[in-house]
Amino acid sequence: MASTTLDQVWVQTSPTRTARPLSCSGALLPLPLPPPQVLAMPPSLYCVIREGNKADKFPQKSLWEFRITGIDEVAGYLRDSVRRDMVWDGTSFFVDTEKRAVILRPEVRRDEQPADACRRAFSDLCLKNRGRFNNCFDKWLSKPADRREFHPIHVTEPAWQDLSIPLPARGIFGIITVGVHLNMYSVREVDGRELVDRIWVSHRARGENVCYSGMIDQVVAGGMDPTDRVDDLLAPGVTLKREAEEEAGLILDLGTKNMTSSCCCGQRKTIGTVEDAPAIAFYDCKGREAGRGNEGHLEPGVRFVYDLKLKDPTFQPRSHERGIERFEALTVDEVKRWLRERRWKPNCGLVMLDFLVRKNLITEADEERFGDIATELRRSLPFKFSQEGFPFLAPWE
């Protein structure tokens, strides 16, 4: 969603040259002093908040709850256009117009678990709606059954932790997404103080059918799988360990929080220690940059955030995944400029903005909407899963 503030040009103009008047004697009269030049503040970084929360244009009362029989909490929210255009007849889904809810009543077969029945019901629904919603289900349906990707449905009830939904249906049903992001940065000393020097970012791969093609991301970021657990509780640290190795070839020791990387000689070298940061929350409605098949999909999201200060500022991470074009170290000013230019993937931009706030790289003195930014990075979401403190997650001690 375009921002009028974002499109402002921040310039300093020169005074127009004028002819100097003459006195009666023919002498040049002194010119009046020009008014002092005042530089406007750069465009507000609040544009990042707006870009990551485009679902704000849909009031909560306009959405339809998605519920699953046997679970006493809302699992997702659907736009009214989805409720209207979806083919529900002949499926396991019931539309309750009085309660404005779509309810999945899975038919559990003999020797079948409820989660398996839900997966089957979702798959049947996708098949009935082939060719609808920008053909978002078609590519998924064209794959062999064992290669079709599913996304976890995050609820708090212990007996339902293995629920999942077809990946292209996740945003259709407005399922909450949960992931981890790692900010990697180097510092320099100035007058005995440590200042953030460079921030490493990831350039996403480019392509016509690539989600968020060419946009900016954290070096390590990814979604939480239901199997990322410690003592039967969901564990973001396990997700971070897996994603760090897959995307950047980094190895995280969950006991010490030390992150290591392979040297050219094959030995491992500690590059820093991971630090916890507060989680952020957002509620987006995806735009065209997410890919045509995702456009208009709702994404309420929680992101668990971690920081990694590099012990050796000369260290350079290397991409280990095809979906990453390259890594690059940016200055703080470059990061801010690219945020204003909307070059960041929206939820990654929120994580980066949060880092700038926490490291005092933006303050009330240089950001007119600083208070709004600090508040809305951790907005309330209408899901039990996002309740304060996340008591059902494994602590990382």
pLDDT digits 0-9 by tens, 215-261: 999 999 999 988 898 888 889 999 999 999 999 999 999 999 999 99
Which residue carries 């510092």 as its tokens?
A: 187
H/E segment holding residue 179: strand 177-190
Q: Are 85 and 35 in contact (CB under 8 A)?
A: no
Element (H, E) at 173: none
Q: What are phi and psi of 230, to 5 degrees?
A: -135, 125
Whether the per-residue pLDDT at 23 is higher than 70: the answer is no
Share of the chain above pLDDT 70, in %: 88
Residues whose CB is less than 8 angstroms from the CB of residue 84 and which lie 6 or more positions away in sequence, other chains included: none
Task: Report residue 261 as tokens.
Answer: 């990387």
Range in 22-31, 96-105, 106-115, 346-355 the model is least confident about? 22-31
Beta-strand ranges (E) seen in 191-336 are 193-204, 216-218, 220-223, 229-230, 233-234, 251-252, 258-262, 268-285, 298-309, 324-331
Neighbouring-strand partners of residue 284: 299
Percentage helix, strand, coil for the chain under 3-state DSSP, each rounded to 5: 25, 25, 50
Q: pLDDT band at residue 26, thresholds of 50, 70 and 90? A: low
CB 247 within 8 A of CB 219: yes
Long-range contacts of 120-124 (CB under 8 A, 24+ apart): 121/91, 121/92, 121/93, 122/165, 122/166, 122/169, 123/148, 123/166, 124/91, 124/92
As a whole number of angstroms, the distance between CA 20 and CA 159 comes to 85
Q: What's the chain's length in residues?
A: 397
Instruction: Give me 6's structure tokens.
Output: 């974002």
More confident residue, 338 or 264: 338
**pLDDT (tens digit per residue) in 321-347:** 989 999 999 999 999 999 999 999 999
| CA distance linking residue 112 with residue 125, whole number of Å | 19
Whether 37 shows a pLDDT value over 70: the answer reads no
Which range among 135-139, 224-228, 316-320, 358-362 shows the weakest confidence by mean pLDDT? Answer: 224-228
Given the structure tokens 């999945």, which residue do they identify? 104
CB pairs under 8 A, 24+ apart, for 368-374? 368/41, 368/44, 369/44, 369/45, 369/46, 372/46, 372/49, 373/45, 373/46, 373/48, 373/49
> Angle, to 10 degrees, between the axis of helix 346-358 and the axis of helix 332-340?
140
**C-alpha R_g of the chain:** 25
CB contact at 8 A, 151 and 118: no
The owner of tokens 């053909």 is 135
Closest alpha carbon to 270 in 301, 311, 240: 311
